[in-house]
Chain A
Amino acid sequence: MPFEYRGDIAHADIAFNAWSGTLEELFKEAAQASMKVMADDLTAIRPTVTVEIKLDQSNEEMLLFDFLNELIFYKDAKRLLLLPAQITITRGGGGCSLQATLQGEEIDASRHKLSTDVKAVTMLRFSVAQVQEGWRATVVLDV
């Protein structure tokens, strides 16, 4: 499983670990884990709306923090449930940048099997680390 929820490091919040061979795939897994907290069946989200985002940050950790926060922002501001279709991460100039194509659709309570709203990404145990198998992240979401 590329992500796993953890009940042992948060009670009122939702914690998960995600891991993957590449940083881009890790970001995709973390996005899926975050969105699945809100909409249990991710396959029900149709890719009818496309949003392009570009983010710059000083390191991979803060880049993931900003990336997940973008998904949460669109959920509230535009009522959009979005998932990454394509992600490119580049390093240079003392930091890193992300370009992503997000796809999804407006929230439809009748189809999206809605669950618990995500308020924010917390810094509690937040980490993105390079490990032997690739990349691994730990995230605690405030719900």
Chain B
Amino acid sequence: MNLPAALKKISDTIWELPVSYKEGMLVPARIFATEKLIQEMDAGVFEQVSNVATLPGIQRYAYCMPDGHWGYGFPIGGVAAMDPGTGVISPGGIGFDINCGMRLVLTNLTADQVKPRLHQLVDRLFARIPTGVGCHGFVKLSQSEFGSVIEQGSRWCLSHGFATQDDLDMTEEGGCFPGADPSSISDKAIERGYNQLGTLGSGNHYCEIQVVQPENIWDAERAAAFGLNIPNQVVIMFHCGSRGFGHQVATDYLKVFLSVMERKYGIKLVDRELACAPFHSPEGQAYFSAMKCAVNMAFANRQVILHRIREVFSEVFNSSPDDLGMRMVYDVAHNTAKLEKHAADGGKKELLIHRKGSTRAFGPGAQGLPECYSKSGQPVIIGGSMETGSYLLAGMQSGADAFFTTAHGSGRTMSRHQAKKSFRGDKLQRDMEARGIYVRTDSFGGLAEEAGDAYKNIDEVVEATELAGLSKRVARLIPIGNIKG
């Protein structure tokens, strides 16, 4: 594509749009990418990341990660830190799927042990984890019980037999954002979401069985620290979020912010999808609380799905989850806003970090990491396309400039509409099986949209994060089985 003329190359992996690029920019916008990836960025990235730079209270830079692509409001891959005292909170910087995230689970099984039972495993996962349009979950709750789930997140799962303490320890923020007040939630959001606990959803949400081949270990020491210590070890990765509940929370507050942003707070923006309110306003605080409820719903959703995955593996291999070594590596959120302390003005300052399609990546020694990862840095789970594989990375000290944030996936290069015209889901399923990847789906149309060729090259994306010092490659994970909505 034609890059904006104002785009400056700062280093081999940093590109900058200066504040003169667009009227109203308060800080420059920076995109992390190699020369090849910047050439592949769609025009929406430049438009949207520079829009983000106009948000009141933004600090340092508006960032976009190497997997960045056209989103709504923020680009996907967007990161923005706001001064909580003077800045805003924007649902468009978090996304409708609040706390969409990734979870990686170990087994002590090898590919040779799993492959003879792969079809049975995938078929049973597909039968037992609801996927697809409008699916209802396997955890049946009353609306009032759901209120406890959104307050407590994974802690509710622990007290109801769906989690171990170790699971919570291996989840960002222990699987619960404190301060989630259900009174900030509409009846509609409750009604839309209370029956979806234990559902995967559709689109790019999936549960995948993967193999860690010895030749794909990039950093043996960190791989061992993350529990990858058996040649051709089988792991399970899954990707989902807060489902209809989170989508409704975001929709509700988008409307609230649209109604008060200009009239009450005098904020004028170039894109209504960036609708926002001052963080400390009543509307801003209500949304922050509601967002936390949705964050907790997503943590709980991934936790009960993990419980179900353990049941399925346990049934198929006739062993307990403990005997199968089914321990979590980590759970990372990639659509959130959080108050975090970062270096600023010669000291540490509390900032409201918006991450939309980008992952927190704390380096070694960071506060808030489980002790077992204090030397290695935070595990970062990068979901690639179902055809090409995924990555496990580690956060680095050198990621401080970008508020310890890295990519979240491959990033699309082709629209869903184009992918559906270019690929046939049923043929893709047969081709993938011939290549050793067994896929079950509710929707061949949805499968076609997720074809590997609709995405950027994940190897290039993670290499860019490493070259930029945002995160370090630990292992590449190869898919052998997948369920999709």
A interface, CB within 8 angstroms of B: 5-15, 38-40, 62, 65, 69, 72-73, 75-77, 79, 81, 107, 109, 112-117, 119-124, 126, 140, 142-143
A116 touches B203 (CB 8 A): yes
A121 touches B251 (CB 8 A): yes
A124 touches B73 (CB 8 A): yes
Bound CA span A114–B425, Å = 12
B70 touches A11 (CB 8 A): yes
B134 touches A76 (CB 8 A): yes
B interface, CB within 8 angstroms of A: 42, 44, 69-73, 76, 92, 95-97, 132-134, 136, 188, 191-193, 195-196, 201-204, 243-244, 247-248, 250-251, 254-255, 258, 271-273, 275, 412-418, 442-443, 445-446, 449, 485
A11 touches B133 (CB 8 A): no
Known: A107-B134, A114-B133, A123-B273. A11 touches B445 (CB 8 A): no
Known: A10-B70, A11-B42, A73-B192. A116 touches B415 (CB 8 A): no
Q: Name, among A38, A62, A122, the residue most crowded by chain B CB atoms within 10 Å (CB to CB).
A: A122
A73 touches B248 (CB 8 A): yes
Bound CA span A13–B95, Å = 12
Known: A14-B417, A79-B136, A121-B251. A116 touches B446 (CB 8 A): yes
* Cβ-closest chain A residue relative to B95: A142
Find B72's partner among A8, A39, A113, A140 (CB 8 Å cutoff).
A140
Find B273's partner among A11, A39, A79, A124 (CB 8 Å cutoff).
A124
Known: A114-B132, A119-B247, A142-B97. 18 other contacts (CB 8 A): A7-B418, A10-B72, A11-B44, A11-B416, A12-B70, A73-B188, A75-B133, A77-B195, A79-B134, A79-B136, A107-B133, A114-B133, A115-B443, A115-B445, A117-B485, A124-B73, A140-B72, A143-B203
Q: Binding site of B, secondary structure by majority: helix, strand, loop or mixed?
A: mixed
B443 touches A13 (CB 8 A): no
A117 touches B415 (CB 8 A): no
Residue pairs across A and B with Cβ atoms less than 8 A apart, 29 shown, are A6-B417, A7-B414, A10-B72, A11-B44, A11-B415, A12-B70, A12-B76, A12-B416, A13-B72, A38-B134, A72-B247, A76-B196, A77-B191, A109-B442, A114-B202, A114-B443, A115-B446, A116-B416, A117-B202, A120-B96, A120-B247, A122-B273, A123-B272, A123-B273, A124-B73, A142-B95, A142-B96, A142-B97, A143-B416
Least CB distance from B323 to A in Å reads 35
Bound CA span A75–B413, Å = 29
Among all A-B residue pairs, the 7 with the closest Cβ atoms? A7-B415, A76-B244, A7-B417, A124-B72, A115-B445, A122-B72, A117-B202
* Cβ-closest chain B residue relative to A112: B133
Find A114's partner among B70, B136, B442 (CB 8 Å cutoff).
B442
CB neighbours of A81 from chain B (8 A): 134
* Cβ-closest chain A residue relative to B132: A114
CB neighbours of B412 from chain A (8 A): 11-12
Bound CA span A123–B393, Å = 34
Bound CA span A13–B323, Å = 42
B196 touches A123 (CB 8 A): no
CB neighbours of A12 from chain B (8 A): 69-71, 76, 204, 412, 416
Find B69's partner among A11, A107, A113, A123 (CB 8 Å cutoff).
A11
Q: Name, among B415, B446, B485, the residue most crowded by chain A CB atoms within 10 Å (CB to CB).
A: B415
Least CB distance from B143 to A in Å reads 11
Least CB distance from B136 to A in Å reads 6
A8 touches B415 (CB 8 A): yes
Bound CA span A142–B247, Å = 9
Known: A73-B248, A114-B132. A126 touches B272 (CB 8 A): yes
Bound CA span A93–B417, Å = 40
Bound CA span A120–B423, Å = 25
Known: A115-B133, A116-B203. A77 touches B192 (CB 8 A): yes
CB neighbours of B275 from chain A (8 A): 123
Least CB distance from A51 to B in Å reads 14
CB neighbours of B442 from chain A (8 A): 109, 114
Least CB distance from B302 to A in Å reads 17
